[in-house]
Structure 1
Amino acid sequence: MIEFDKYGFPRASGIFETIKTVDGKVVSLNRHMRRAVDSARELGIGLPDEESIRKEIVQVITDNPHSVGRLRICFGNNLFHLTHDAYEERTEPARVNFFSETVTGSQHKLFPYDYRFSIIEAARDEGFEDSILFNSKNEITETAVANIVLMIEDQWITPPITAGLLPGVVRGIAIEECAVKVRPIHISEIPDVQSAFLLSSLRIAQPISHIGDMKVKIGEASLALQAEINAHSQAVSVG
């Protein structure tokens, strides 16, 4: 029998994918599976065959139907576990702060995930939704549970993977389909931020209203980018 931690992850180690569902359809499943396959290959984790994974996804969604859901798939050595829970859409912009310590990121979506959740909990204790992380060069990387896109000098930009961050699925869409550029972003550039977004598989594209005490504009450019990312993040049938 599998034991679980307080965040719903198996008490083991491995990789996972968190995926949004809408009316039983799954958003960007193929991109998520490509990332999982790449990580599993690099980390030496055996995965079930694709047909088995898809059958299990259909089954867990059928058994636990939600109009908007959070599908979580965990893979590990001798471990394959899925859950499908209700997800409440975020309708308000995010308030984020800076985490107080340097964080070394990973290009793999790994569990246990306790440390990342502890960052979220600390941010919420201070009245924020998430915290921006930075590396040893004082370059912005990501947040505890999302990638980040900033507008600086009228250009949408996001940090490179080499800065130490997860290659998020929605981040990939923003770069490949929405002309978001990639370059290092030093924390000293924060005062120059005109607009900003959190990108994740559940939020898709959530505008940021505040970075610490600094108010961030949510204007036409933000709404246009959000609409474009949403248009490229459509849910499709698995079966």
Structure 2
Amino acid sequence: MPLKVRLAKNAVDSSNPFLYHKTTHRQVYDSALREFPDYDDVILWNEKGEITESCIANVVVFIDGQFATPPISCGLLNGVYRAYLLERNEIKERKIYREEIEKVEDVYLINSVRKWQKVELAKFAKKL
């Protein structure tokens, strides 16, 4: 079943060191989730309008004929499963901008526990 996901209301600061490490310092994530209690997760974006990650997973989109995930420099955790897929060339790094979300063919959330979870694009796009 596709996840019910939405974009965060506010940008994250890509220079925030806590975004790059798995930590108990989760205020950014907890705050984003509290804003949308009826959603499964929230996709974050930075001050440059670049998609970063979700509150519990890395983001992968299918765009321009390939699976792409934002580069670490956008402000995100280099998840274990993300790193594995990059190493195997199953996904590529590419900046993904907020405006592009409606144009991508598919959106997925990935992590080492849940693997690939599809976000239903129609529901996702309508809520922008």
TM range (shorter): 0.7 to 0.9
User: Which residue pairs with 2:111 in the alignment?
Assistant: 200
* Candidates 112, 117, 123, aligned match of 2:30: 117
Percent of pairs with identical residues: 34
Gaps of 5+ in 2: none
Q: Say whether residues 1:150 and 2:96 are aligned partners.
A: no
Task: Write the deviation string for residues 95-135 of structure 1: whole angstroms up to 9, x where unpaired.
Answer: 11110111135211121324423322332x2x321111111
Q: Which has the higher strand share?
A: 1
User: Which residue pairs with 1:169 in the alignment?
Assistant: 80
Q: Say whether residues 1:187 and 2:120 are aligned partners.
A: no
User: Which residue pairs with 2:2 in the alignment?
Assistant: 93
Q: Which moved more, 1:200-209 or 1:133-142?
A: 200-209
Letter in 2 for 1:189: E
Q: Give the superposition deviation at 1:166.
A: 0.4
Matches within 5 A, 1:127-138: 127-138=38-49
With the length of structure 2 as denominator, give the TM-score of the two structures: 0.84
Are the aligned partners of 1:153 and 1:192 in contact in 2 as well (CA < 8 Å)? no
Structure of greater relative contact order (alpha carbons < 8 Å, 6+ residues apart): 2
Are the aligned partners of 1:132 and 1:144 in contact in 2 as well (CA < 8 Å)? yes
With the length of structure 1 as denominator, give the TM-score of the two structures: 0.47
**In structure 2, C-alpha distance between the alignment counterparts of 1:121 and 1:93, rounded to whole Å:** 20
Task: Write the deviation string for residues 155-175 of structure 1: whole angstroms up to 9, x where unpaired.
Answer: 110000001110001111221
Q: Which runs of 4+ in 1 moved over 4 A?
A: none
Q: 3-state DSSP class of the match of 2:20? A: coil
Q: 3-state DSSP class of the match of 1:211? A: helix
Are the aligned partners of 2:102 and 2:125 in contact in 1 as well (CA < 8 Å)? no
Letter in 2 for 1:111: T
Gaps of 5+ in 1: 1-91, 215-239
Are the aligned partners of 2:70 and 2:93 in contact in 1 as well (CA < 8 Å)? yes
User: Which residue pairs with 1:8 in the alignment?
Assistant: none
Shift in alpha-carbon separation, 1:93–1:187, aligned structure 2, 3 A:
same
Letter in 2 for 1:112: H
**In structure 2, C-alpha distance between the alignment counterparts of 1:135 and 1:118, rounded to whole Å:** 15
**In structure 2, C-alpha distance between the alignment counterparts of 1:193 and 1:201, rounded to whole Å:** 23
